[in-house]
Structures are given as C-alpha cells and as structure tokens.
Structure 1
Amino acid sequence: MTRSAPPSPPELSAMMPFGRYSVQAQVGIGGMGTVYRGTQLSLGRPVAIKVLRVSDGYDFAFEDRFRREARAMATLNHPNIVAIYDYGHLGTEFLFFVMEFVDGTDLGAIMAQGRMTTELALQLLPQICAGLEYAHSKGIVHRDIKPANIMLTRQGEVKITDFGLAKDVMRAPSMATETHMVMGTPEYAAPEQFNAHREVDHRADIYAFGVLMYQLLTGALPRGSWQPPSMLQPGLDARFDAVIVRALMTDRQHRFQSMGDMRRAIEAAAVPAVPTPSRPLPNVKPSAGRILLLEDDLMVRDLLRRALEKASFEVVETGDGKDTLRLYQEAMQQGRPYDLVILDLTIPDGMCGRETMLHLRRLDPQILAIVSSGYRDDPVMKDCAAYGFAAALPKPYQVEGLLQIVNGALAVGRQRAAA
C-alpha cells in the first residue's frame, strides 16, 4: 500500500478542527512526526503544530504515549519548557498537538556545525537543569533528554521539548521500561532504561543530562573509557569532571539525587576557585606521604590508619566510594593531591573499590592506587595491574607487609614521575 505524504500547509489548515489555526509552512520532519509553523487565529499568536501519523507508532501504545506527551506538557508552565496549547485527532490517520513556537534551532543542529564554546555551554546547562528540576517537581520524568530535544531561541533561552516518552510519576507509580523496548535514545539512556524489570525515575534524566553536559563541553559522547572534559579542553575547571562523573554513575543511588543538586554543583564549579596559600605547620614532623583510605570496616580502618600514621603517613579515611571521589577531587583542586589511594574491593552498602577506581582514573589518569581485599582469588586481586592498580594488599594485614606494599607502590609512583 502506498504511503501518503504528510499534509501540505493548506491541507492541514483545512483539517484542523473548527478552523482555529492557519498553517503557513512545514518547518521540520522526522521519524515520529512533521512540524509546521502556524497561527492561532483567535489570539493571533504564532504556534508550532506537530502532526503524527497513527501508523508510525509501531505499537499499540503509540496513541497513549501521544496523549501522555500532550497532558504531561500541559501541566508544565516554565520558561525553559515548550508550552502546549491544544491536541487531538485529525480523522483516523493523524494526531496533532499545538505548542509554543520557538524561533530558534535545536542543540543537535547547532552541534552539527562544530563544538560549541565553553562559555555558551555554561550559559545553557543551568537553564536545562532548571527546566528539568521544575518538571521533576511536578512528577514528570522526560526520559529522552538529548540535543535534538533542547531548543535554543535567538535570544539564548533554552526550551525543552518532546516529552513523548515522559511518565507522570504521581499518577503512574510503576514506571518499568516497556518489555523488549529501550525507552529513550540509547546513547543517552541510563543503564536502568535497558532493564525491563527496573523502574525508571527522575535519576534517568540526571544520567542523560550528564551525557549531554559532557557532549556540550567536549563535542564528543562519553563512550567506553572516556577522558575527563578538563583533559580534552585545556582551561576547563576540573570541578566539572567531578559533576559529570557523579551524574554518570551506573548505580543511580550514587548519582545526584535531584536536578537542583546538580544545578548547584555546576554553578559552584563555574565560579573561579580561589587558591588558598598553604602555610607550613610549625614543629610538625614531615609527612611520608598523603594517603586516602577507603575501608568500610571501622576496626580494619582504624588499624590501617594507626599503622600508617605511625610510619609518618598523613591518612584521610572514608567508608564509601562517593566520599572518596569527593575528597580526591577536592585535594586536586586545592593543589594538595594524595600520593596514594587504598581502596577496599568490596563495600556492601556503598560504591565498591573497583567502581571507585574506574571513576578516579577518569579524574586522574595518573592516579596511584592499591586494591585491598580478603578475597585473594578475585580477578582484581590476581591481576590488579589490568584494573589500573599499582599493587594488591591482601587481608588480614601484617604491619610489615602493609608498609612494604605501600612503600613499593610509592616507589612506582616516583619512577612514573621521573620518566
């Protein structure tokens, strides 16, 4: 059967109910619809009209998703979200909704012309955060944040659009991914969106926004073992690295828990850091080195700290990988980096040493670290170098063996620095 073309502007004007709209031109066409520029005659205001063919939905839930987009957007009144005015059917073949006309273009088209400047990216990111923060406060999760769904007006104002995959958390507490479908764009989808048995909440938008943020700052997607943005863009504050690392955590419990938190972190990173001059402490024995210790067992942590401090090391302790990342990042910003990190391989109630090391290496590819575990046959312990560790420290500890391994790792670090 021959597929008919989208209606022309005059045809669409005649099809619109009660003659309420005049359609002037087709302004865009994609896999899931055609967009027109028109006028709402009763108010004389410009509008965008999106027309979707019912048969393009590929599944029986398509019309439900269309209605969901319209109703979700209709509840949102925010300067960084495209407003919706009307929606409905055009006979049995088409669906339509009428929305605010944005005089501008989407970020996908802008980025296709080359990487945007850091200054422009830092102007846009807080606006996107603000729009998503508002949507989340109303119980709406977008689930498909990507450059093509972010419009930029000629005045530099962000407008988030295409809530077609949105879910209303308040009215639909079960937000499991539809069976056999990835709801969202794979490059930007959070890990839980690939799991049909996992519920999806606002933290999926935080993950997608982290991907978008990386892309705006670097011009690339964070694929595989990606490099921190500050390494790709000289002059970019390394504090932005920590924001992105946290947003892209595989476990959503370790991400920012709200867009407001992420927005504040971005705004803080955008403020130039004021260097704090270091002053030598009087009558203090010189340190053998600064060590950051991740260990969740309080007794083991105390034993390690005392043994290391007795050997004149300065030790900072944490019990979770998130705190380890934060402290390491802060030390880098203050110009007092740690000489060595010791990471417990297994943290039952937090981010484990292996995942922590993955993120630390993104922050600092030259990091010097030791992995510690009682599971001597674990692949990470048996081949620690393959995971980026300088040495493996088996439990239980003997002080002499502990210091030998620590000093050996530090020697490796000195050799690297001299090379």
Structure 2
Amino acid sequence: MQGAEEPSLVGESIGNHQVLERIGAGGMGVVYLVEHRVLGLRAALKVMRARLASEPEFVRRFIDEGRTCARVRHPNAVQIHDLFALPDGRPAMVLELLDGETLEQRVQSGPLAPGLALPILKQICEALQAAHAAGIVHRDVKADNVLLARRGGAEIVKVLDFGIAKRLFEEGNTRVGAVLGTPDYMAPEQIAGGPLDHRADLYSVGVLAHRILTGRLPFAGGSVVEVLNAHLRSPPPEPTELPEPFRALIRKAMAKSPAERFASAHELGGALGDLEAWWRTCEQAGIGPGQARLPSSILDAPFELMLVQATVELRFASAEAFERFEREQLSKGHLYLPGLLPLGTGGVKVRLLVPGGEAREIEADVVRRFEGELAARWHLPEGVALAVRRAPAGASAREVEMLLELYGGRLGGDERDFLGVRPEAALSEIKGVPAVGVRSRE
C-alpha cells in the first residue's frame, strides 16, 4: 500500500540532478540515485514519504536530520550536500552516495573477529566524538545505522541516520518523557525519558560491541517491555567467550550510571585502540587470547617470554639454557625478542628468571622493530631488537671467572690486581684491558 501511495521520481529532474533509479527506502523517506547534469557526479537523494509530509513533527525531524548532518563534518559520518523542498512541498536532501552493507547485515553470518570489530567500533567513536563536539547526541546508535562503505579497495565506516539526534544546547527539541531510539540499544536514562547527554551514545556502543563480537545482543528475546526493563535494571550478561579485557570494556561502556561509563567517545575510542593493539600483538606473537606468554623462536632461544605490565620477563628452562643465551646474546650487549610486543621507543626493563637463581633485571633500549619485509630481509622472525644498558647484577661474575681461567697460570701475582681492575669488575671492564699488558709467569 505504501508503494502505491509513493509517487516515483525516477526520470525527473530535481534541481541540478537527474533521478536515475530508486535504491532504497526507510521509515521516513525514499532514497534515489541521482546524477549531476553538468558535473556528472552521482549522489543519493533522500525524499520524505508523501504520507508523512503533512505531519509537522515528522517534517521537523527530517529537516533536523539534514541540519545535524551538516554540523557533523567527519569522514566517518554521512555528508550532506543540499537540503531543500520539492515542488509538492516534501523536504528532500542530497547526500554522498555510499555503496556497501550495514553492520547488521555483516554480522548476520556470525560474530566478527576482534581484528575486524575493534577498528569498526573505533571509527564509530570517532564519528560520535565529532557529533558530541558539535553538541549533538545521536540517540540511535545501532548496527543498522552503521554502513561499511566501499571506497576502491578499502572499507570505511559511516554512521547514518541522525534523524532523532538531540541538539544539547537548543531548547524544545525533545519533550521530557519522550522516548526515542531502538529498545535493544537504549541507555537506561534514555528509556526513563529524563535528561541525557553524550554518554547515552557510549552505552549504545557498548551494546553494539557485544552484538558484533558475540553475534548476539546482551538483552534479547521476550517482549519490548522486558528488553527495556533489562536495560534499566539488569547487569549485562558476561560474554564468557571473550577475553577479560573485552568484557571489562563492555561492562564499563554499559554501566547503568552515566558517571561510571567512559567520559567521552574519545576516551572509549582510545580504549578500543589499546585493546586492538593488545589483540594484534597477541596474534602476531602467537599469544593465545587468554594468555600472556609465548615460546620464543629466535635462534631456538631457550626461554619463555611474558609481558608483565611494562616489564618483559624471560623465563629460562635451566641454568644451562641461560648460559647459552648469555653467551650468544647478552654478553654481546643485545637482545632479540620474538613477537611484536607493544614496547615504546625508549627504555624497557627485562627480568631474567633462572631456575635455582635469583631474579635479575637489566635495562635496555628499543633499537628497532623488525616487521614484514624488514624481518624477511634479515632472515628473522618478526620481533623487537634491544640494546642492553648494563649487564644484570651477578651475571657478569661468572663470565669474569671464565675469562680469568683463560689466564690461569700465566698471570703473575693476583690476577685482578695484575689486570688493574676491581674485584667486582664487570666483563666490559676486563674486555677493555689492553692485551699487551699481560705477562706470562714463565
């Protein structure tokens, strides 16, 4: 019936555009493919449905959507080119033409891998941050309102449908008590119909994260009233199949109290970026998502590597394994750690754990990250190269004794005194002693 009511614009000229075909429809409008008659550029024309054009409230919302799009100028938000009225009085807008699928369509085949989901969520936050900075709350963030648009061989996220967005600093846009949004994604304060701010959108992002990472909504099934009541009163169920860092982020984003959520879309986006870096590090280094360790592969180095806060731990299987590592790498003043650990460009602490011995720490500087082609060119697994600042406490004593044994029977008097070094001298000091000063006892 709606199709019969809706007059088609295909073949007509609207302003500078020629209407080519109908490409979509929504609750409030119909979307056409149009082409600029002079420039040849294609765009999308969204026209309000004829049956709604006589309703002032719907007309106002349609126009508000266009005004809101114009204020949110960001690559991850849909862009508007024009807003005007057709000869029959219906409002219309010309939007950038987007080709792709919605996030809801994408997850119909199952949950997204974290490596795909996290960048999408981060781009959504970037669009929302731009909206919030302009004093706009979207109020209907959901998988259906996120388009994964194709641009050449790449994909870019576009946040759509600012039709019920609230402008925070303008009066009269929403009556207190009016509930607008999609029940599955609505924040508790939005359901209650009271005052809300940008943090309502962050709650919806938390729901969206749950949806695309698990393939299901946190509160699903039952009636609309039951879903709304769950958002108001029930803690979100734990997605136990996700690693704890993912669950913690969703819990914070979906906190019942806005004060307990992330403070801004920028902060939430930063947390998603950190989580993405952690996940990619786990993948590249071969760390399981529930673990924080991996077996080393470089030179068959006999240690297990762990990243504990800002300290790298090397856990050796035996004293003999440590001695080989010490001889091949540590004594030469460098370390190579397999896996693209999230280390900065400055100093890092490395803790050496040897069975039967005390834990020792050294300080080192990140020299270079070997990734992709660079690692292949050097015939190395991907990893991080470190330069040692100082030898580990106690580690040099054994090497001092080994070196002195080489002089055994050939040095006159006390060996250390003869060499002119301190009794507790490090290997580097002994190495620096000129060989011409060594005398034989014979």
TM-score greater than 0.5 by the shorter chain: yes
Provide, for residues 94-130 of structure 1, a one-character-per-residue CA deviation record: whole Å limited to 9, x for no partner. 3211101112121122222333333211221111111
Work out the CA distance in 1 between the residues paired with 2:124 and 2:5: 35
Residue 192 (structure 1) shift: 1.3
Counterpart of 1:239 in structure 2 is 245
| Residue aligning to 1:47 | 43
Map Cα deviations across residues 312-335 of structure 1 (whole Å, 9 max, x no partner).
Answer: xxxxxxxxxxxxxxxxxxxxxxxx
Q: Contact 1:54–1:63 at 8 Å: present in 2 too?
A: no
Instruction: Return the alpha-carbon distance in structure 1 between the equivalents of residues 54 and 185 of structure 2.
Output: 22
Judge conservation of contact 1:68–1:167 (CA < 8 Å) in 2.
no
Amino acid at match of 1:184: G
DSSP 3-state at the match of 2:33 = strand
- CA offset at residue 2 of structure 1? 8.7
Q: Which has the larger radius of gyration?
A: 2
Task: Please report how far the alpha carbon of residue 59 of structure 1 lies from its aligned counterpart in structure 2 after TM superposition.
Answer: 5.4
Match in the other structure for 2:267: 261
**Cα distance between partner residues in 2 of 1:57 and 1:206:** 33
1:251 aligns with 2:250: no
Greater shift after overlay, 178-187 or 126-135? 178-187
2:237 is aligned with what amino acid?
Q
Among residues 185, 189, 195, which one is paired with 2:186 in the alignment? 189
**Cα deviations by residue, 1:130-184 (Å, 9 ceiling, x for unpaired):** 11111111111111111111111122210111110112223x1566x53664211
Q: State the match for 1:366 in structure 2.
A: none
Which ranges of 4 or more aligned residues in structure 1 deviate by more than 6 Å? none
Cα distance change of structure 1 residues 115 and 7 upon mapping to structure 2, 3 Å threshold: farther
Question: Counterpart of 1:137?
Answer: 133
Cα deviation for residue 195 of structure 1 reads 2.4
Counterpart secondary structure, 1:113? coil
Residue 215 of structure 1: CA displacement?
A: 0.5
Which residue of the partner structure matches residue 336 of structure 1? none
Asked if 2 retains the 8 angstrom alpha-carbon contact of 1:32 and 1:57, the reply is no
Question: Could you tell me which residue of structure 2 aligns to residue 219 of structure 1?
Answer: 215
Any conservation in 1 of the 2:53–2:90 contact (CA below 8 Å)?
Answer: no
8 Å contact kept, 1:21–1:39: yes
Question: Cα–Cα, structure 1 residues 54 and 6, in superposed 2: closer, same or farther, change >3 Å?
Answer: closer
Show structure 1 runs of 5+ residues with no match.
280-419
Question: Is 1:36 aligned to residue 32 of structure 2?
Answer: yes
The equivalent of 1:148 in structure 2 is: 144
Structure-1 residue corresponding to 2:7: 7
* Residues matched between the structures, number: 268
Q: Distance in 2 between matches of 1:10 and 1:266?
A: 43
Q: TM-score, normalised by structure 2?
A: 0.56
* Whole-angstrom distance in 1 between the partners of 2:53 and 2:107: 28
Measured against aligned partners, the alpha-carbon deviations of 1:374-415 in whole angstroms (never above 9, x if no partner) come to xxxxxxxxxxxxxxxxxxxxxxxxxxxxxxxxxxxxxxxxxx
2:100 is equivalent to residue 101 of structure 1 = no
Aligned counterpart, 2:157: 158
Q: How does 1:196-211 map to 2 (within 5 A)?
A: 196=193, 198-211=194-207
1:67 and 2:73 are equivalent in the alignment:
no
Contact 2:103 2:147 in 1 (8 A): yes
Question: Where do 5+ consecutive residues of structure 2 fail to align?
Answer: 220-229, 279-291, 293-305, 314-442
SS of aligned partner of 2:186? coil
Q: 1:104 to 1:222 in 2, by over 3 A?
A: same
Q: Distance in 2 between matches of 1:96 and 1:193?
A: 29
TM-score under structure 1 length normalisation: 0.59
Distance 2:249 2:55 in 1: 38
Q: Deviations over 1:271-304 (max 9, x none)?
A: 336642899xxxxxxxxxxxxxxxxxxxxxxxxx
Q: What is the CA RMSD across the aligned residues, in angstroms?
A: 2.6
User: What residue number does 1:56 align with?
Assistant: 52
Corresponding position of 2:363:
none
Q: Would you say the 8 A contact 2:127–2:159 is kept in 1?
A: yes
In the superposition, relative to structure 1, how do residues 2 and 47 fare at CA in structure 2: closer, same or farther (>3 Å)? closer
For residues 3 and 146 of structure 2, the distance between their equivalents in structure 1, rounded to whole angstroms, comes to 30
CA distance in 1, matches of 2:53, 2:86: 15
Distance 1:203 1:2 in 2: 37
Shift of 1:29: 1.7
Q: Which residue of 2 aligns with 1:228?
A: 238
Q: 1:3 to 1:134 in 2, by over 3 A?
A: closer
Post-superposition offset of 1:243: 1.0
**1:189–1:3 distance in 2 versus 1, CA, 3 Å:** same
Deviation per CA, 1:180-232: give whole Å up to 9, x if none: 64211111111111223x11211111111111111011110011564333x13
Contact 1:211 1:248 in 2 (8 A): yes
In structure 1, what is the equivalent of residue 277 of structure 2? 271
